[in-house]
């Protein structure tokens, strides 16, 4: 399969590397790692086995890739205003657009631009980060769940799930996209936000009983809001939340993506992970009070972080 990888962060590089290793024709849109990967290849370090791709098809401009069978989108959701223009040169009549982005509202952006029939949504539970240029560190997890944006469980989704699984990416084909998106939010909303605000990794949060209580309260809010969205099947809050906590405890000292983005003075995915879910919950009369508080704290601290980052850059430029 000819695959275009848009959004070559840790997620995009890791999954793209596994797909190429499995024999697929993968084309990466690269930015900051371009020169290193083109010159030296792409290295994946993983407890499941390290490997090196010495020959990677990387591009600075998406127009150089051409039409593909599958566009795999790993962009940060705050870049969605650029998504349609980045994806357009890759789309033909049969091209599948798969977004593995966080939060809600990403599939709608693609559907408005290219038509709902092109779009599949997915969630990835992946512990992965970027090391030095051209190196991806896979720490734990990695399973993906996929579902159609416009239809239920289709043969197309099943075949795509099988393709991922055959590339050593555990994958499940699902019938309800909204359900799997909200289930991922039940983890993303508390852990991304609280880790970003405190600067503490997940294991540090779980070592504090009072923090565990707060995490559970936030998770229950998210699950209650999810179950008000007309899901195909309600989420069993108690069992599901305990499973999330157990999995997180096994991940060790993990730094979620929002925490990493904040530490590196990058924007964070506020709208997709907090703003849109809050609005959808409000629409059906299910206000999420603790989630709204997290959102507000992240918003005000984001302004402060941006200002500090700009000042650091200005000071550096003045010295140089």
Mean pLDDT check: name the lowest of 75-79, 105-109, 154-158, 301-305.
301-305
Looking at the fold, whether 214 and 117 belong to one and the same domain comes out as no
Boundary (domain end) residue, out of 118, 145, 175: 175
Q: Count of alpha carbons within 13 Å of 243, Cβ hemisphere only? A: 9
Spacing of C-alpha 7 from chain mean position: 10
21 annotated active-site:
no
* Mean of pLDDT values over 85-108: 98
Of 21, 184, 255, 282, the catalytic one is: 184
Can you give the pTM of this predicted structure?
Answer: 0.91
Looking at the fold, whether 117 and 39 belong to one and the same domain comes out as yes
C-alpha distance from residue 111 to each of 90, 135, 270 (Å): 15, 33, 21
- Show the domain range for 299: 179-312
Distance CA 220, CA 202 (A): 18
Boundary (domain end) residue, out of 175, 190, 205: 175
For residue 308, the model assigns a pLDDT of 53
Comparing C-alpha atoms, which of 101, 104, 162 is closest to residue 126? 101
**pLDDT, tens digit, for every residue of 12-25?**
999 999 999 999 99
* Mean of pLDDT values over 110-135: 95
What average pLDDT does the chain have? Answer: 94
Q: Percent of the chain, pLDDT > 90?
A: 91
Looking at the fold, whether 31 and 102 belong to one and the same domain comes out as yes
Boundary (domain end) residue, out of 148, 175, 202: 175
Listing DSSP states for the chain in one string gives -EEEEE--SHHHHHHHHHHHHTT-EEEEE-STTHHHHHHH-EEEE-TT--EEES--EEESSGGGT---SEEEE---GGGHHHHHHHHGGG--TT-EEEE--SSSSHHHHHHHHH-GGGEEEEEEEEEEEE-STTEEEEEEEEEEEEEESSSSS-HHHHHHHHHHHHTT--EEE-S-HHHHHHHHHHHHHHHHHHHHHH---HHHHHT-HHHHHHHHHHHHHHHHHHHTS--SS---HHHHHHHHHHHHHTT-S---HHHHHHHTT----HIIIIIHHHHHHHHTT---HHHHHHHHHHHHHHHHHHHHHHHHHHHHHHH-
Looking at the fold, whether 54 and 185 belong to one and the same domain comes out as no
List the CATH number of the domain containing 30.
3.40.50.720
**pLDDT, tens digit, for every residue of 28-50?**
999 889 999 999 999 999 999 99
For residue 289, the model assigns a pLDDT of 97
Q: How many domains does the chain have?
A: 2
**pLDDT, tens digit, for every residue of 285-315?**
999 999 999 999 999 988 765 555 444 434 4
Distance CA 57, CA 256 (A): 29
* Mean of pLDDT values over 159-163: 98
For residue 311, the model assigns a pLDDT of 43
The length of the chain, given as a count of residues? 320
Burial (CB < 10 A; 0-12, 13-18, 19+), residue 22, is middle
CB 261 within 8 A of CB 272: no
* Position 184 pLDDT exceeds 90: yes
Comparing C-alpha atoms, which of 192, 311, 312, 319 is closest to residue 256? 192
* Position 317 pLDDT exceeds 90: no
Looking at the fold, whether 67 and 22 belong to one and the same domain comes out as yes
Q: Count of alpha carbons within 13 Å of 287, Cβ hemisphere only? A: 4
For residue 318, the model assigns a pLDDT of 37
* Position 183 pLDDT exceeds 50: yes
* Position 316 pLDDT exceeds 80: no
Looking at the fold, whether 143 and 188 belong to one and the same domain comes out as no
Q: Is residue 201 part of a domain?
A: yes
**pLDDT, tens digit, for every residue of 48-60?**
999 999 999 999 9
**pLDDT, tens digit, for every residue of 198-238?**
999 999 999 999 999 999 999 999 999 999 999 999 999 99
CB 153 within 8 A of CB 173: yes
For residue 310, the model assigns a pLDDT of 45
């Amino acid at each position: 399969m000819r695959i275009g990888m848009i959004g070559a962060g840790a997620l995009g590089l890791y999954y793209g590397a596994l797909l190429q290793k499995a024999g697929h024709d993968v084309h990466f849109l690269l930015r900051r790692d371009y020169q290193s990967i083109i010159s030296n290849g792409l290295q994946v370090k993983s407890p499941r086995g390290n490997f090196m791709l010495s020959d990677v098809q990387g591009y600075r401009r998406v127009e150089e890739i051409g039409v593909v069978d599958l566009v795999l989108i790993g962009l940060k959701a705050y870049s969605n205003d650029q998504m349609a223009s980045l994806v357009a040169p890759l789309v033909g009549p049969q091209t599948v657009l798969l977004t593995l982005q966080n939060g809600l509202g990403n599939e709608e952006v693609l559907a408005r631009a290219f038509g709902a029939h092109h779009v599949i949504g997915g969630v990835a539970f992946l512990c992965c980060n970027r090391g030095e240029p051209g190196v991806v560190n896979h720490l734990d997890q990695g399973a993906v769940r996929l579902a159609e944006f416009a239809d239920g469980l289709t043969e197309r989704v099943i075949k795509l799930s099988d393709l991922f699984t055959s590339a050593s990416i555990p994958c499940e084909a699902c019938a309800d996209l909204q359900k799997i998106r909200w289930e991922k939010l039940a983890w993303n909303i508390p852990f991304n936000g609280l880790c970003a605000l405190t600067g503490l990794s997940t294991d540090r949060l779980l070592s504090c009983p009072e923090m565990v209580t707060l995490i559970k309260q936030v998770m229950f809010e998210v699950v209650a809001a999810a179950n008000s969205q007309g899901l195909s099947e309600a989420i069993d809050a108690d069992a599901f939340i305990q499973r999330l906590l157990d999995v997180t405890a096994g991940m060790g000292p993990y730094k979620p993506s929002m925490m990493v983005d904040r530490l590196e003075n990058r924007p964070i995915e506020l709208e997709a992970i907090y703003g849109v879910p809050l609005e959808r919950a409000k629409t059906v009369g299910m206000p999420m009070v603790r989630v709204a508080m997290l959102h507000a704290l992240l918003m005000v601290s984001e302004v402060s972080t941006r200002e500090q980052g700009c000042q650091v850059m200005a000071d550096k430029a003045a010295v140089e």
